[in-house]
A and B are shown apart, each in its own frame.
Chain A
């Protein structure tokens, strides 16, 4: 082997080592500069927080926030978000007013186009408090820009927090969600719509144009928001071919607790999917459908623990008759059913 090859390797190794040392030095200097900046940021954050806390106590004429404290919109947005978790009502409005007068909104609007994604998110969330036309326009604009899904969802949540009612179709098409990646944050938006305008959500579900994961989420929030007008829709979705939709619909029917769901739940408790059977068992207990007690008893020997456990709990929920039956099963010979019944009775101190 030629010695020059070894020399070349040695030389390149030494060169790389030198480059690494230079890089390390640069990183150390950057780290040092960063620590100085972080110290300064902390001082600004603390001072701004103090100013906002004082806003509620300053009756009558309020002192303005010094402009130096709102020069860094990232910090202003973060402080405002933190402040919103502690203070509400008039004191929060007074603090917001102080920030408006100091020109914080204009700066946060500019932050919305930052290259740092976390800054953009904080800006979108913070703008939701301002409720001005500029903030509304900027957030609406985010929905049509090519930005991350998280930022779009944050903008959508902020618009809803401002009292805006963007069209659900426009929102969902702006999010462009495929079936595998429906983010959990979407349910916050759907919950706001289900609470304010449930008929919009029902209409959207009837159109059957969204991916199953999003439809399941819509059904779930309708159940949680107790949208009683959605009963016919939920009854039909409980027979959907997608297991997620079926399970969500059965769960929602349980939350509504209406006797009209009896036949649907009687069918759902024999569903081939354990998730649906488990939801159906719980729903029967929630809706106090005493007639379906035999179906619950049969499910105590289901191969799936979740189904057995929820069926036993549902029997407890059905009152003294249900508990009596559970005690009989606990004393019986069916291995799975007897064990589940005994455990649930013991846990609920009814053995």
Chain B
């Protein structure tokens, strides 16, 4: 007690208060700058509201896309999710569902739901992943390919999907994400407008809590009554519409949500696809792409579109939310330490 008595507590309290206020002010200043950049970006390039106009403008020019949907123990929803993926508005795309060694009857549901048969498909082993047990296709729906493989996690499943797919642009997503019908048409815009430089595109993910969902589509936008979900709704809007839009504008976007992201196939293969065994594989891939493109001195852009393209459910209990956030932060730290060489390294510019 006598040792503690020597401290000037009043002085410590003042400095602590000052530090808290300054950190708060700095954070708010950063948010304000992001808000201004995002506002400028939105007014300079306003979203196209009507998807028929997008179709008219881009349908003839849009590159083929492979939609990669990894699934693990999704027997309850998989058929409905895949049906919704097959009805997206896009002129040329294939849906590659990767059954990542599900323990339930996910594969059987798919086989029954889409009348799938085992097929042979030529593919390269460009990226490592757990062995593929079989590939299934349907005569009725030639754009659907189902890959059955040993369990290896989401990154591993996406790598298998990348090897199997053939389109020059890949779209990675979560099996439980709900895509807007025109999501691909909206997200492909930067690839059409700047084909020489754009290597990846992210889009706004919104929370489906409180929304009405039928037939795998959000039919009515609503707000959840759960306070945790409400807070996350505001947080998602801030993170996506403000932060990510601003970071992409200054060429420093380091994450494209795993729930929805488009990538040019060639650079993804060059960096070896997703890193297996990571927690934040979505962030890690984007940072790897930055690193590779800057090292190769290639002119590139990782773009972001503010339009909502994807809906996902947010956790509504503290326990699940805590687990999710712990996973996200572990992923961020893992990526940070894995690419520590980029930190404050002028060679990597704003990303560093």
Contacts and interface: CB of A to CB of B under 8 A. Distances in A.
Query: Do chains A and B interact in one complex?
Result: yes
B18 A346 contact: no
B32 to A, nearest CB: 10
A59 interface: no
A343 B123 contact: yes
B139 interface: no
A181 B196 contact: yes
Contact of B17 (A6, A85, A340): A6
Given A117-B46, A182-B195, A184-B195, A81 B122 contact: no
Given A6-B17, A81-B52, A85-B55, A187 B299 contact: no
Nearest to B197: A180
Given A1-B18, A78-B50, A81-B56, A183 B120 contact: no
A40 to B, nearest CB: 15
Given A85-B56, A182-B195, A1 B11 contact: yes
B126 A305 contact: yes
Contacts of B45: 117
Residue with the highest number of chain A CB atoms closer than 10 Å, among B53, B55, B119: B53
B187 to A, nearest CB: 14
B122 A184 contact: no
A9 interface: yes
Interface string B214-234: 000000000000000000000
A85 B18 contact: no
A347 B120 contact: yes
Given A13-B24, A81-B56, A184 B18 contact: no
Contacts of A43: none
B124 A183 contact: no
Nearest to B20: A9
A183 B18 contact: no
A82 B196 contact: no
A116 interface: yes
A10 B197 CA distance: 47
Interface string A1-41: 10101100110010010000000000000000000000000
B299 A78 contact: no
B318 interface: no
Contacts of A125: 53, 56-57
Nearest to B123: A343
B21 to A, nearest CB: 5
A85 B193 CA distance: 21
B122 A312 contact: yes
A9 B21 contact: yes
B5 interface: no
Residue with the highest number of chain B CB atoms closer than 10 Å, among A9, A10, A16: A9
Nearest to A41: B49
B228 to A, nearest CB: 22
A81 B121 CA distance: 41
B21 A13 contact: yes
A84 interface: yes
Interface in A67-85: 78, 81-82, 84-85
Interface string A338-351: 00100110110101
Contacts of A225: none
Contacts of A179: 196
B268 to A, nearest CB: 14
Contacts of B193: 150, 183-185
Contacts of A349: 120
Contacts of A9: 18, 21-22, 25
Nearest to B48: A118
Contact of A181 (B14, B18, B46, B194): B194
A122 B120 contact: no
Contact of A188 (B44, B60, B124): B60
Interface string A109-123: 000000011100010
Contacts of A122: 53
B61 A1 contact: no
B216 to A, nearest CB: 25
Contacts of A187: 61
Contact of A117 (B44, B50, B299): B44
A179 B124 CA distance: 32
Residue with the highest number of chain B CB atoms closer than 10 Å, among A85, A181, A184: A184
A84 B195 contact: no
Given A117-B45, A180-B197, A346 B120 contact: yes
Interface in A155-210: 179-185, 187-188
B122 A343 contact: yes
Contacts of A180: 196-197, 299
B14 A6 contact: yes
Nearest to A157: B57
A82 B52 contact: yes
B77 interface: no
A185 B61 contact: yes
Nearest to B15: A1
B67 to A, nearest CB: 20
A5 B18 CA distance: 9
Interface of B: 11, 14-15, 17-18, 21-22, 24-25, 28, 44-50, 52-53, 55-57, 60-61, 119-124, 126, 191-197, 299
A-B pairs with the 4 shortest C-beta distances?
Answer: A346-B120, A305-B124, A343-B122, A184-B192
29 contacts: A1-B14, A1-B15, A6-B17, A6-B21, A9-B18, A9-B22, A9-B25, A10-B21, A13-B21, A78-B53, A81-B56, A82-B50, A118-B46, A122-B53, A125-B56, A179-B196, A180-B196, A180-B197, A181-B196, A181-B197, A182-B195, A183-B194, A184-B193, A185-B57, A185-B193, A187-B61, A312-B122, A343-B122, A349-B120
Given A125-B57, A185-B57, 14 more contacts: A1-B11, A3-B14, A6-B14, A81-B53, A117-B45, A117-B46, A179-B196, A183-B194, A184-B61, A185-B193, A187-B61, A343-B120, A346-B120, A347-B119
